[in-house]
Each structure stands twice: as structure tokens, then as C-alpha cells.
Structure 1
Amino acid sequence: MNYTLHQLQIFLKICQLKSITKASEELHLTQPAVSIQLKNFQDQFPIPLTEVVGRKLYVTEFGKEIAQAAEKIVEEVNAINYKTLNYQGELSGRLKLSIVSTGKYVMPYFLSEFIRLNPGVELIIDVTNKSRVIESLELNEVDFALVSVLPKKLKVKNIELMQNSLYFIGSSQLNFKNPDDKKNIFENTSIIYREQGSATRTAMEKFITTNKFSVQKKIELMSNEAVKQAVLSGLGCSIMPLIGIKNDLKNNDLQIIPVKGLPISTTWNLIWLESKKLSPVANAYLDFLKFKKEEIINKDFSWIAKY
């Protein structure tokens, strides 16, 4: 057998994504190039690694075992590269985070300078909903997680990053006959929710229940961006994090509708398991945040104060 590290990396990515097309996109390769490498890799084994059923790619049991071995090999190669950088005096290793979807408007600003200063650090971020974020933390799949509500069932440590404010948002094209009657706004307007498991949805439902608003028309969407686009189109209104609609407010495409009891204020927290032994990279990142957090907030998020 004469397979290459490149082939192992491609096969592993195909197994993870169950798609040649998605693997090619993530690896920044053409689809034919990935297909050729998969074929060349497969030709070295007498047993099929993958199979296509109904135009869908499946990994065989044998293929799964090869993928597990490939993952260990790739990790060992990465470890060799990191050790080389360490001997050269550079901070190196992986920094893995799982963040809630609205956190994508926040977390990059707290990472960019750290990554620029430490080119030997490989950054991996999974953007998903709150339930999956907590699960990945609990399973020790990541170093840190970004949440706006601290989990109750896990023992975690945390560092507060910045405030998260949620407002009632509508398209600027909407005109309300009696804007002071907020109860009627909720009853007569379609209200757009995030999916179950979202912290934004939990906060929104708590606010509506506490104020005894009756929502007659309810729409559920699976991401903050999808909710924003629906609100922009005039499909309905929603309670949304201010952090994700800066340009839409600036361009007068969206409006903040004043409602008593809003904004809802929470805090973005970077959390990690209390029992976790942090890597040198993770510890270095915490030190970076302690010194740079306020500077980043003042530089990149000062615009929030005017709302």
C-alpha cells in the first residue's frame, strides 16, 4: 500500500461530511480532484470504503474503521507539527470552540488578534444552537463554549465577555396604527421564533409569558440569520439580539419597536468545564482575554451604547 497523508485527510473529511461536494468545499479543492483522490485511495483496498445508494454517499463498516485509523494518524502528524513550533518558541496547538449561532457576531472579534499574534494556533469553531453547544462541552469535544445563559447542570468556570441585549424588531416598512398598544402588536402580528433549544427563544418565550401576551400567528425558523431575513421581508416581527442587526438598523431596513420590559439583557460568557485540564493554548487565550477584553469591547462594540 502506498497511500499518502493527503489522501487520508481527504478520506477523513468525506467520512465526516458524508459528501464529496461538501468535502471539496471545506478543503478548498475541486470536486473532481477529491473524487480522484478517493478513487486512488480506494484502489489500495480490496474491500469497499464507501457506497452510493440513491445518490447518497454512505461509509461502510470497513470504511469507518479506516477513518478512525486515519484520524489518529492525522492527529499524530499535527502533534509533530505543533511540537516543532514549540521547540522554535512559538505557541502552537488547536483551540476548539462551540458557540451559539448569534455568537458569530461576537466571538470573532475576541479571537482575531490572538490568532494573528500566534500563527501556530489552529482555530476550530462550531456554530450551532445552545443544546448542541452544551452537549459538545459536556462530551469534552471543545476547549470553550460561548453562551448567553450559563448551564445549570454542568460545573463550569467562566469569563464574562460583554452584554447581550434583545429588542423587539420589525421591518422599517411596517406602520402600527396604535404603537402604544403593545399587546395588540403581539396578537395581530406574526411573531417569528428561533427553534427549540435556542437561548434567544427561551428568553423570548419567558418575556411573552410574563407579560401575558397572546401570540396568534407563530413562525419558527432555524437560525438567527433566517429570522432576520424574514423580519426584513415584512413576514413578521421578532425579539432579536441587537448585536446581529447593526447594519440593518444603520441602513434603516429594520426598526426597534419600544416595548416595556425590553431590552432583555443577558451576558455573553465564555465557559469551560471545571474539571478540564486546559492546554497551553487555551490558558494563553484566557490570559489574552483578561488583558484585552475591555480594549476589544471599546474598539469594536462602542456603537451599542447609543441604543
Structure 2
Amino acid sequence: MNAITFRLLEVFQHVVDTGSVTAASVELGLSQPTVSLQLKKLSSIVGMPLLEYRQGKATMTDAGIAVYRCAQEVLTSQQKLNSQIQALQGLEVGSLKLAVVTTAKYIIPPLLSPFCKAHPNIDVRFTVGNREKIVDRLARNQDDLYIFSLPPSNPELACTPFKENRLQVIAPPDYDGPDDCDLKALQSKKFLLRETGSGTRRAVDDFCHKHDFHFDNVMVIESNEAIRLAVSSGLGLAIVSEHTLAQVPKETVRVLKVEGFPLITHWQAVTITSRPLSLASKAFLESLTQPDA
């Protein structure tokens, strides 16, 4: 009987995590036929199908779920070994897999750039996605480090605050309504808000609940850039991170003076306590918490 190898488990894990043979082949640097052949070989060794296709989408069978869990355990142990080897070799080799929510894409590159220049031989993989995507990657244990403004509540996570995330109320540049007021004075205005579940929306909803406030007229837009553009075009008011505003000329929107704002949350670096961190991951996490970070 053929043995299940690290490579077979790695290929299967990538196919499941990326959702397709095509995407997995790109990540692994292999041809699609090679990835398909590896999947077929692993299924043959197990003696049962690992994936089934419904309406063109691959889902794991019960056997596939068992193999995926095994792959997670085995590859995590392999990462631990790699981390120990890296400790013997020093920080100049290794890898860092980083996944961040969309708004954090404005703050992480300036922090990542000097780290990469100082350690050019470290392999860095940087993934950006909406909260749902990054939470899914976290659940699958796909990365070393995750960046959220409001991390999921889970005792198996270690969360390290490292930078303020200030939320402001913004209006179109020609806005002539209430200003220097409380939020209730703006209740009749249309607000463009992120989708329920996003970090920004959760912070806003918590603020509203605390102050017994609700919006009368809401339009949901699932992109910070789209919200900013919609506000600058006169579509309504919004509550967004200052990091979003820092990317555009100040005259494109108007920041209102609203009681309780800026609403301050903190960017947090999140790790899974059961996943061993490489020296590179530890070093980058430490760099985030430096006073000048």
C-alpha cells in the first residue's frame, strides 16, 4: 500500500482552501494535471472519494473531512519543525503568511515594507479580503497572523492591539445640514453603512445600542472606497475609518463634528494559540507593537 505523503496532504489542503484545482495549482506552482493526479492518488490510497461536485462546486465527503483534519494536524507539526529549524538557522529564512481585512490594507503595507527590506529572504504571503473571507481563513488555520479591528470571540485566539482605528462621520463637500451636534440630530439623514458583521459596522452598531439610537434611512455598501465615493457624490452620510480618508484629497468629503466621534477601536493582530509561530511571524508581530509602529 502506498503511503500518504506530506505533499499529498498539502495538495489536498490547498485544493480545499482555495476551492478549486486551478487556484491550488497557482498557489503551489504546479500544473493543473499534476494537482488532479495528486488528488486521484490520495483518493486511491484512502480507498474512498474525498471530494464530490454539486453544481460545479467541490465539497468534501466525510472521508475528505477526515483527511483534511489529518492534513491540518500533520502540516501544523511540520510547521513546528520548520520553526525549530529556523531558530537554528536564524531569522533570515522562513515565511510569513499574513491575512488582513480590507480596511487594514491601508495600514499594513507601510508597516510590512521596512520588515521585508530588513529581511529580504523571508517569503511573505499577503492576503486581503472582507471580514467573512478572513474569518473563514482563520477558521481553516491558513495563515500565521490575521489583522482585524474587531476579532472573532474565541478563547483559542491571542489578540494583540497595536494601532488605533478612528471612525469619523463624513458628509458630501457641499453638505449644509447639522454639524457640531450629536448623532440623533442626523437621524433623518441617509447613512451609507458597511454590511452587518464587518468590523466597522459592529463598532457603529455597538455605539448606537449604547446610546439608544437607530438609523431611519440606511443603504448598505460592501466597500469602503465605494462608500467614500458615494458620499463625495452627495448620496448620503457615512461612518468610515480615517485610514480610508487618508488615501484621498481632504476636499472630497467633509468630516463632521459629532459627539462621541471619532469612535475609537483598535487594530489587533490575531494568532491561533495552537499554531506554532515561525521566527519571522514572531518578529513581525513584535514590530507591530513597537512605539513607532
What TM-score, normalized to structure 2? Answer: 0.69
How many angstroms does 1:234 deviate by?
4.2
Which residue number in structure 2 is paired with residue 195 of structure 1? 195
2:37 maps to amino acid = N
Summarize deviations over 1:21-80 as a string: whole Å, max 9, x none.
Answer: 443554566xxx32x124322443264332322222223333344444555565566566
> Using the alignment, how far apart are the partners of 1:85 and 1:275 within structure 2?
19
Alignment of 1:88-99 (within 5 A): 88-93=89-94, 95=96, 99=100
- Specify whether residues 236 and 20 from structure 1 end up closer, same or farther in structure 2 by C-alpha distance, changes over 3 A only: farther
Which residue number in structure 2 is paired with residue 129 of structure 1? 131
- Specify whether residues 163 and 87 from structure 1 end up closer, same or farther in structure 2 by C-alpha distance, changes over 3 A only: closer
Summarize deviations over 1:192-237 as a string: whole Å, max 9, x none.
Answer: 2223334422432355566666522112344544544543554432
2:34 matched to 1:37?
A: yes
Asked if structure 2 preserves the Cα contact closer than 8 Å seen for 1:86 and 1:92, the reply is no
SS in 1 for 2:53: strand
What TM-score, normalized to structure 1? Answer: 0.66
Asked if structure 1 preserves the Cα contact closer than 8 Å seen for 2:178 and 2:186, the reply is no
Which residue number in structure 2 is paired with residue 301 of structure 1? none
- Specify whether residues 147 and 82 from structure 1 end up closer, same or farther in structure 2 by C-alpha distance, changes over 3 A only: closer
How many angstroms does 1:7 deviate by?
5.8
- Specify whether residues 160 and 11 from structure 1 end up closer, same or farther in structure 2 by C-alpha distance, changes over 3 A only: closer
1:203 maps to amino acid = A
SS in 1 for 2:196: coil
Summarize deviations over 1:5-30 as a string: whole Å, max 9, x none.
Answer: 6665433211223323443554566x
Alignment of 1:1-307 (within 5 A): 8-24=9-25, 26-27=27-28, 33-34=31-32, 36-44=33-41, 45=44, 47-71=48-72, 74=75, 85-93=86-94, 95=96, 99-118=100-119, 119-120=121-122, 127-129=129-131, 136=138, 146-148=147-149, 160-172=161-173, 175-180=174-179, 186-208=186-208, 215-232=215-232, 234-250=234-250, 252-270=251-269, 280-289=279-288, 291=290, 293-294=291-292, 296=293
Select between 228-237 and 178-187 the one with higher mean Cα deviation.
Answer: 178-187
Which residue number in structure 2 is paired with residue 300 of structure 1? none
- Specify whether residues 245 and 267 from structure 1 end up closer, same or farther in structure 2 by C-alpha distance, changes over 3 A only: same
> Using the alignment, how far apart are the partners of 1:273 and 1:7 within structure 2?
24
Asked if structure 2 preserves the Cα contact closer than 8 Å seen for 1:194 and 1:222, the reply is yes
Runs (5+) with no aligned partner, structure 1: 297-307
1:259 maps to amino acid = V
1:268 maps to amino acid = W
Asked if structure 2 preserves the Cα contact closer than 8 Å seen for 1:156 and 1:272, the reply is yes
- Specify whether residues 228 and 85 from structure 1 end up closer, same or farther in structure 2 by C-alpha distance, changes over 3 A only: same
SS in 2 for 1:248: coil
1:63 maps to amino acid = G
> Using the alignment, how far apart are the partners of 1:87 and 1:249 within structure 2?
48
1:48 maps to amino acid = P
Query: May I ask how many residue pairs the two structures share in their alignment?
Result: 286
How many angstroms does 1:104 deviate by?
2.7
1:256 maps to amino acid = V
How many angstroms does 1:240 deviate by?
0.5
Asked if structure 2 preserves the Cα contact closer than 8 Å seen for 1:97 and 1:125, the reply is yes
SS in 2 for 1:58: strand
Supply the RMSD in Å over aligned alpha carbons: 4.7
SS in 1 for 2:261: coil
How many angstroms does 1:106 deviate by?
1.8
Identify the structure with bigger relative contact order (alpha carbons < 8 Å, sequence gap 6+): 2
Asked if structure 2 preserves the Cα contact closer than 8 Å seen for 1:5 and 1:74, the reply is yes
Runs (5+) with no aligned partner, structure 2: none
SS in 2 for 1:41: helix
